[in-house]
Structure 1
Amino acid sequence: MQHKFLKRSFSFLLLFFTFSICLFANEEAEYVPKLYGTFWALMPPIIAIVLALITKEAYSSLFIGIVSGGIFYAGANLEKVTLHVLNDGLITVLSDSNNVGIIIFLVILGTMVALMNKAGGSKAFGVWASKKIKTRVGAQLATIVLGCLIFIDDYFNCLTVGSVMYPITDKHNISRAKLAYLIDATAAPVCIIAPVSSWAAAVSGFVPGEDGFAVFIKAIPYNFYALFTIFMLLMIAILNVDYGPMAKHELNALKGDLFSDGRSQEKKDNKEEENTKGTVLDLVVPIIFLIIFCITGMIYTGGFFSGTGFVEAFSNSVASQGLAIGSMFALILAVIFYVARRSLTFKECMDSIPEGFQAMVPAILILTFAWSLKAMTDSLGAAPYVAGMMEHAAGGLVNMLPAIIFLVGCGLAFATGTSWGTFGILIPIVVAVFEHDPHMMIISISACMAGAVCGDHCSPISDTTIMASAGSQCNHVAHVYTQLPYALTAAAISFVSYVLIGYTKSWFIAFPVGIIGVIVVLIFAKKRTQK
């Protein structure tokens, strides 16, 4: 009897707890914050960005932005705020396989840079390049050309170009902030107009009911921000123009302070004895390994070795996984290469792993905070809020819509730190609005892509901006506020060009006006800075 009573009691308790768990799970699943889908959804990143620009300190600014997102989500409930920030923010983003792939790629690339430096490859390349590149203009143009050639992926671009070019730019007293700008401005802007890149694949997937790749190709000439940024880079290098905070950094670099914080002399004083037996091959061969295997890794994730075509494999590729796989094989071959050449011992190669990890810790920490901040923004419904705004605007000034889309794309990418998320929100809306006007649809999709790249380029919480800082070993906030005037210049000229093309529908009017605008602004800036 007692046994039956206990059994029934246990069954009742089990049923009660099961019901309770289901009830609370449903409540949790159905929980919608009061501020969901409102302007407040954009406040956490705005708080973080403003604080970073004011305090010049990234870590605390990003963390305060994350916590503010948790407060907006959960209200005054301290427990819910804490769990949301930790579980839905930091822990979730570090559990995401794509994010982990990016972190692995960062660590491996940091290790390869440490190997190249220890083997003397970077020093040998700097000596060789100094015989070929004899001026500051030549060093900047070489950086731009290399950045344009590595168009496969923006992460890969930022870190590879920085590793290869900093010995040359250092030799010509070009500030690390300027190097970071050259890297950043040839990363996303180049990838967004390169047909074979991870960005082309992303955009192609966001065009419902259309041939995404064909739309991407047609949109390239109208991507004014990317084209004007690359043209502006060339003019800045050739005309030797610097303005805003960058002018101060370049002046300090000419005096020997590449970081504008006294670190150049400190690095000189603490410099370890370099390997003078290294050759250019000790840098070039590992970089070639990296390029070949990273491209192979990307097309592997896209199904190339299962019979999928090359272009389609790129369209289907998962960049973070492909880069992690490719860089891992490149690192293994690089170690074998150095040991076989007796450039380094096996122990020295293994000692480079923690050195590389340590060099990338700042970038990994900022990336983790940036991803967590985006998670807070997503949980507050930033995407539905912006999508609703765009649909409302679409019924108004049709001729102004390309310029409006450009501005909205800038704002959304700046606040969220993601270009691809901006594509996903805005491009389907543009396709729906201009379904019966293919020409305006192409122009507006280009405006969306240009705005997303512009916002991504300016944002302190953008992956690409963080990678550019890491690749050049530049202080992150210094990189942001020195490149901001340049990015805003290209953005303002692009906005005018989108207004013109919205009314004239003519590329032959809008594009030349933008090019002339870039030249006029730079000449004016040079005269003003000289005074």
Structure 2
Amino acid sequence: METWLSLLPPLIAIGAALLTREVILSLSLGIVSGSLILADFSVSKGLTDSFQVVFAQVADPDWAVPNIMFLLVLGGLTALVGASGGAEGFGRWAISKVKSRSGAQMVPFISGCAVFIDDYFNCLAVGQIARPITDRQGVSRAKLAYILDSTAAPICILVPLSSWGAYLMSQIAKPIEQYDVGLTPMTAFISLIPANYYAIMALLLLLLTIWLRMDIGPMKKHEQKAMQQVRQDRVETEDPGNRAVDLVLPLAVLIGASLFFILQTGGYFTKNKDVVQALGDANVMISLLYAGVISVIFAAILYIPRKRVRAKDFLPTFSKGMESMLGAVVILILAWSIGEIVNKLGTGEYLAGLVKAANLPVEVMPVALFVIAGTMAFATGTSWGTFAIMIPIGAAVAGQFSPDWVLPFIGAVLAGAVFGDHCSPISDTTILSSAGAQCEHIDHVRTQLPYALLAAGTAGVGYLVYGFSHQVWLGLAMSTVLLVVILLFLKKRTATA
């Protein structure tokens, strides 16, 4: 379709979610409105197509089914860990090691940077590790969700040895050959890193806000409420039987098994592929599901003989944990569905066409690509889909002038896509960050948005500087200095208020 009407469904879904806080209803409205547009406003056909789109997402055997099953299995494992006392024991152990709220926030930050293999895995696994620590130190679930989200895509897109790195190398291989950049996909990816201003600014902003102990916008209320709650909960009975090992071992098995199966399904062990090739060819969701099942079996062996969870309570506890994930599963399915709707409507192509038609001066093209890619990812909820559409466009624009500009222009596209995906309510990574932190989804979206906008604003200035100077490092330096100055100003203003 590729008209302005293609923008309506995502705008309806996102706007309604922010206004009403009812995410499921808002996504449903977006799906129905998109189906009506595709059906030429025939109500009966539009409603029928809406159900068919949702059912098609649920029934996808290669992606949706293992994804949903992994979420449910992880919910069950979480409940078992809680029932065994592992989370409580780990929280008590952490109190002796982590002495401050800043230290508690550094745990998911460092863990998120270390677990860079995949953004889905990052959000869910690090959430399991960090939640007992942040809860005990009075860090809100909204803050934890923000930390998880900011160390998911922004880390994965900067690391070659990740599922993102493998995908992006496949996407940039043709442009760098077509425009005679003179680099291999791996070296080109590494060269792209300093041009990805948003990912770098998002990580720097997260680190600085933890270090400066400052909260921005709606996050303040959530943090104040969490600190008040933890003070009320300080007096509690001690149970020396609740040991940290009951959380650490199942999660260690989950992480180790996930890495093994990702490499195994990618052909690392059987087809002699290198790590990057294996990551690109791996079936990540099947791998995570296999690892989740093995972790549950390991938990049964660990808990039942020691009576940490009684045999008769094991399956009921597991089932109850699965039920706790149903809300996140429904939101994820609806997000996939509206993603399919906007794909059929050609929303991404319509926005990409605006870039081609604008005929802007080359000096402002980097920031224009950043904004358009960000808008596209925000509206569609997918950064990978935005990469597929916008990378060739960014490379083509740069290729008209100089091969030296191809990678920085692609870097602007990557940064914009991560920005849009980072703050979109219909992004799967945003949804899974909420699930990993066990935070209300709309609370996560609202509290993260000011941080994302601040990082994006400073990144945008950096791309303007690059556009006029053609110096990638100068643009990055300007973004960094501007971000630090703004944060110090906000910190001083808060202190004197």
Question: Which TM bucket (shorter chain)?
Answer: over 0.9
Aligned to 1:91: 55
1:528 positional shift: 3.3
**1:224 aligned to which of 197, 206, 213:** 197
* CA deviation string 1:461-483 (max 9, x = no partner): 11111111111111111111111
C-alpha distance in 1, partners of 2:146/2:387? 24
1:473 corresponds to 2:446: no
Aligned to 1:235: 208
* Structure possessing the higher radius of gyration over alpha carbons: 1
SS in 1 for 2:325: helix
TM-score, length-normalised on structure 2?
0.93
1:396 positional shift: 3.1
* CA deviation string 1:17-56 (max 9, x = no partner): xxxxxxxxxxxxxxxxxxx111211210111111111112
Aligned to 2:179: none
Matched to 1:250, the amino acid is E
Matched to 1:277, the amino acid is G
SS in 2 for 1:205: helix
1:62 positional shift: 0.9
Task: Decide whether aligned partners of structure 1 residues 347 and 218 sit closer, same or farther in structure 2, where only a CA change above 3 A counts.
Answer: farther
TM-score, length-normalised on structure 1?
0.87
Aligned to 1:359: 324
1:341 positional shift: 4.1
* CA deviation string 1:215-234 (max 9, x = no partner): 22211121111111111111
Aligned to 1:244: 217
Aligned to 1:451: 416
1:412 corresponds to 2:412: no
1:312 corresponds to 2:277: yes
1:110 corresponds to 2:83: no
Task: Decide whether aligned partners of structure 1 residues 516 and 278 sit closer, same or farther in structure 2, where only a CA change above 3 A counts.
Answer: same
CA contact (8 A) 2:462 2:476 kept: yes
Aligned to 1:525: 490
Matched to 2:27, the amino acid is L
C-alpha distance in 2, partners of 1:163/1:217? 31
1:388 corresponds to 2:353: yes
Deviates more, 1:331-340 or 1:278-287: 331-340
Task: Decide whether aligned partners of structure 1 residues 355 and 509 sit closer, same or farther in structure 2, where only a CA change above 3 A counts.
Answer: same
Aligned to 2:170: 205
**1:488 aligned to which of 450, 453, 457:** 453
Aligned to 1:215: 188
What pairs up with 1:141-290 in 2 under 5 angstroms? Answer: 141-209=106-174, 210=176, 211-256=184-229, 277-290=241-254
Task: State the aligned residue count.
Answer: 485
Aligned to 2:478: 513
* CA deviation string 1:320-347 (max 9, x = no partner): 2222222222322232232344432333
Aligned to 1:126: 91
C-alpha distance in 2, partners of 1:352/1:420? 36
SS in 2 for 1:103: helix
1:325 corresponds to 2:290: yes
Aligned to 2:391: 427
Matched to 2:196, the amino acid is N
Aligned to 2:180: none
CA contact (8 A) 2:149 2:422 kept: yes
Deviates more, 1:199-208 or 1:459-468: 199-208
Aligned to 1:30: none
Matched to 2:453, the amino acid is L
* CA deviation string 1:460-505 (max 9, x = no partner): 0111111111111111111111110011000000000011112212
1:85 positional shift: 0.5
CA contact (8 A) 1:94 1:368 kept: yes
Matched to 1:213, the amino acid is M
C-alpha distance in 2, partners of 1:509/1:310? 33
Deviates more, 1:460-469 or 1:109-118: 109-118
1:303 corresponds to 2:276: no
C-alpha distance in 2, partners of 1:279/1:444? 51
1:276 positional shift: 5.3
* CA deviation string 1:5-26 (max 9, x = no partner): xxxxxxxxxxxxxxxxxxxxxx
Deviates more, 1:479-488 or 1:332-341: 332-341
Aligned to 2:33: 68
1:101 positional shift: 1.5
Task: Decide whether aligned partners of structure 1 residues 198 and 514 sit closer, same or farther in structure 2, where only a CA change above 3 A counts.
Answer: same
C-alpha distance in 1, partners of 2:306/2:463? 55
Task: Decide whether aligned partners of structure 1 residues 515 and 278 sit closer, same or farther in structure 2, where only a CA change above 3 A counts.
Answer: same
CA contact (8 A) 1:242 1:529 kept: no
CA contact (8 A) 1:121 1:278 kept: yes
C-alpha distance in 2, partners of 1:101/1:215? 33
Aligned to 2:344: 379
SS in 2 for 1:277: coil
Percent identity for Structure 1 against Structure 2: 40
CA contact (8 A) 1:243 1:529 kept: no
C-alpha distance in 1, partners of 2:476/2:343? 36
C-alpha distance in 2, partners of 1:222/1:378? 28
**2:100 aligned to which of 135, 154, 161:** 135
Deviates more, 1:129-138 or 1:375-384: 375-384
Q: Where in structure 2 are there 5+ consecutive unaligned residues?
A: 177-183
Matched to 2:57, the amino acid is V
Aligned to 1:50: 15
Q: Where in structure 1 are there 5+ consecutive unaligned residues?
A: 1-35, 259-263
C-alpha distance in 2, partners of 1:480/1:324? 27
C-alpha distance in 2, partners of 1:68/1:400? 35
C-alpha distance in 2, partners of 1:505/1:340? 65
Matched to 1:168, the amino acid is I
Aligned residues: CA RMSD: 2.1
CA contact (8 A) 2:205 2:483 kept: yes
CA contact (8 A) 1:206 1:212 kept: no
* CA deviation string 1:83-129 (max 9, x = no partner): 21011x10111111201121111111111111111111111111111
Deviates more, 1:461-470 or 1:502-511: 502-511
1:527 positional shift: 3.1
C-alpha distance in 2, partners of 1:502/1:348? 62
SS in 2 for 1:399: helix
SS in 2 for 1:428: helix
C-alpha distance in 2, partners of 1:114/1:275? 18
